[in-house]
């Protein structure tokens, strides 16, 4: 496909997304219906579409509207490219720009939420949460996230993992945010097909998620519960660091369906449980709670635009209930670790302070807020000890 034909495809896809269809579904359906598009074309189109979704408000402001066509005009201008070079009306290219569309617009003088691409109603909450870091953090979230892998200490060292990846033409370099973190700086799309991945030497995992696991007080024996395990990424990361028994639980068990296969590949044992209370209590209970996902908006930009004040309030209530459910599962002297992939104080510092305030049997030991300025996603972690 020519660059102009890719732009036409993006316009079509974005129009469907603007109608409320999920981005991943639209991209998949488009690829199935356009078999002529090669893997490089599909990858390039996907990247352009997600660039627009991260920058939807500023693209609309610069492009003069919220149609797929206007959004692509806005994106090209943000990239320093002249839309008229691609909007030519030639074969498979979008029609030429109208006189109105030729008027260049900028986002520099518009309101901060438009310029930095987030909903107006979040401005006060973000300012209270990030203070002087608001603008640089939100600017980070407008751009594609780095790709990270976690070295599985059970099967590899940093050096052996880097060497194995290089054999498949993949370049990885250590990242300071976590001891186990490798940033994939070349040929990232090939990681899932690499020998290092197939042999369990590495897992794809954000560097901040790895740093959160390293921040925990992980017991070396006894039992650990991953209470909101999801796909089990943090269970796997913990298993590489301890001989303790690890159990994974999730309110939606289907999320853990491939965890046994991933654990076998990693050379570790993780049991999934439907009723963790039946097994007794645990030296560490990890609550990786449902949240706004605001720290990972560059990976899942649709969540940024779907979040409402009402939904955020629901999430805060849900987090509080989950913490109160998990607390009795912690053994005396054990630890409750609370984690979100959020940069919003109401889900993080405020939430854990309220938990300690109503649960006198726990004390806050330490907490840390990671933001994209640290290199990975925005995550929060708090360590509470049962006393």
Q: Are 290 and 372 in the same domain?
A: yes
Q: Are 289 and 360 in the same domain?
A: yes
Q: Are 183 and 232 in the same domain?
A: no
**Could you give the C-alpha distances from 75 to 20, 57, 83, 91, 248, in angstroms and in order?**
20, 10, 9, 22, 42
Any domain includes 358 = yes
Whole-number Å distance between alpha carbons of 271 and 247: 5
Any domain includes 118 = no
Q: Are 372 and 323 in the same domain?
A: yes
Any domain includes 127 = no
For the annotated catalytic residues, the residue numbers are 341
Whole-number Å distance between alpha carbons of 46 and 6: 10
Nearest to 295 by CA among 192, 212, 183, 218: 212
Whole-number Å distance between alpha carbons of 17 and 5: 19
The pLDDT value recorded for residue 123 is 98
Tokens 């913990």 locate to 238
Walk along the chain (387 residues) and give the pLDDT tens digit of each residue.
999 999 999 999 999 999 999 999 999 999 999 988 999 999 999 999 999 999 999 999 999 999 999 999 999 999 999 999 999 999 899 999 999 999 877 666 689 999 999 999 999 999 999 999 999 999 999 999 999 999 999 999 999 999 999 999 999 999 999 999 999 999 999 999 999 999 999 999 999 999 999 999 899 999 999 999 999 999 999 999 999 999 999 999 999 999 999 999 999 999 999 999 988 899 999 999 999 999 999 999 999 999 999 999 999 999 999 999 999 999 999 999 999 999 999 999 999 999 999 999 999 999 999 999 999 999 999 999 999
The pLDDT value recorded for residue 310 is 98
Domain boundary among 93, 110, 127: 110
Q: Are 180 and 74 in the same domain?
A: no
Q: Looking at the 3D structure of the chain, how many domains does it have?
A: 3
The pLDDT value recorded for residue 108 is 62
Q: Are 261 and 354 in the same domain?
A: yes
Token readout for 59 is 């693209």
Q: Are 155 and 85 in the same domain?
A: no
Residue 337: give its domain's CATH number. 3.40.50.150
Any domain includes 164 = yes
Any domain includes 336 = yes
Residues 232, 249: contact at Cβ < 8 Å?
Answer: no
Domain boundary among 204, 228, 243: 204
Domain boundary among 55, 88, 110: 110
Exposed/middle/buried for 120, CB within 10 Å: 0-12, 13-18, 19+? exposed
Any domain includes 22 = yes
Q: Are 263 and 286 in the same domain?
A: yes
Domain span holding position 262 = 208-386
Any domain includes 126 = no
Residue 154: give its domain's CATH number. 3.30.70.1170
Q: Are 238 and 366 in the same domain?
A: yes
Token readout for 183 is 């940033």
Whole-number Å distance between alpha carbons of 104 and 106: 7
Q: Are 320 and 221 in the same domain?
A: yes
Q: Are 15 and 44 in the same domain?
A: yes
Token readout for 177 is 């945010």
Nearest to 247 by CA among 291, 210, 205, 277: 277
Q: Is 19 left (phi over 0), alpha (psi -120 to 50) or beta?
A: alpha
Any domain includes 136 = no
Q: Are 219 and 98 in the same domain?
A: no
**Beta pairing, strands 223-226 & 245-248:** parallel
């Amino acid at each position: 496909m020519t660059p102009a034909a890719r732009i036409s495809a993006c316009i079509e896809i974005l129009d469907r997304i603007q109608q409320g269809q999920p981005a991943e579904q639209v991209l998949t359906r488009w690829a199935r219906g356009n078999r002529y598009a090669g893997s490089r074309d599909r990858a390039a189109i996907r990247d352009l579409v997600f660039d627009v979704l991260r920058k939807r408000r500023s693209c609309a402001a610069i492009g003069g509207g919220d149609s797929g066509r206007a959004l692509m005009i806005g994106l090209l201008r943000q990239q320093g490219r002249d839309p008229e070079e691609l909007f030519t009306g030639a074969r498979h290219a979008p029609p030429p720009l109208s006189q109105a569309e030729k008027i260049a617009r900028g986002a520099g003088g518009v309101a901060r939420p438009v310029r930095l691409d987030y909903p107006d109603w979040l401005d006060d909450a973000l300012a209270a949460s990030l203070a002087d870091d608001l603008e640089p953090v939100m600017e980070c979230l407008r751009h594609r996230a780095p790709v990270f892998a976690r070295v599985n200490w059970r099967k590899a060292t940093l050096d052996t993992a880097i060497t194995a990846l290089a054999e498949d033409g993949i370049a990885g370099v250590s990242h300071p945010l976590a001891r186990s973190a490798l940033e994939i700086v070349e040929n990232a799309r090939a990681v899932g097909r690499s020998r290092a991945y197939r042999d369990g030497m590495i897992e794809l995992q954000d560097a901040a998620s790895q740093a959160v696991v390293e921040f925990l007080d992980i017991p070396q024996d006894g039992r650990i519960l991953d209470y909101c395990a999801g796909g089990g990424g943090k269970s796997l990361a913990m298993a590489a660091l301890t001989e303790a028994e690890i159990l994974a639980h999730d309110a939606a068990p289907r999320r853990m369906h491939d965890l046994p296969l991933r654990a076998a590949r990693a050379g570790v044992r993780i049991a999934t449980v439907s009723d963790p209370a039946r097994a007794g209590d645990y030296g560490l209970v990890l609550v990786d709670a449902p949240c706004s996902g605001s720290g990972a908006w560059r990976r899942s930009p649709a969540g940024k635009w779907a979040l409402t004040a009402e939904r955020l309030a629901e999430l805060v209530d849900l987090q509080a209930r989950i913490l109160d459910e998990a607390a009795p599962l912690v053994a005396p002297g054990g630890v409750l670790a609370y984690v979100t992939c959020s940069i919003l104080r109401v889900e993080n510092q405020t939430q854990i302070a309220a938990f300690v305030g109503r649960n006198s049997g726990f004390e806050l030991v330490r907490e840390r807020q990671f933001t994209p300025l640290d290199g990975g996603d925005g995550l929060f972690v708090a360590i509470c000890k049962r006393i």
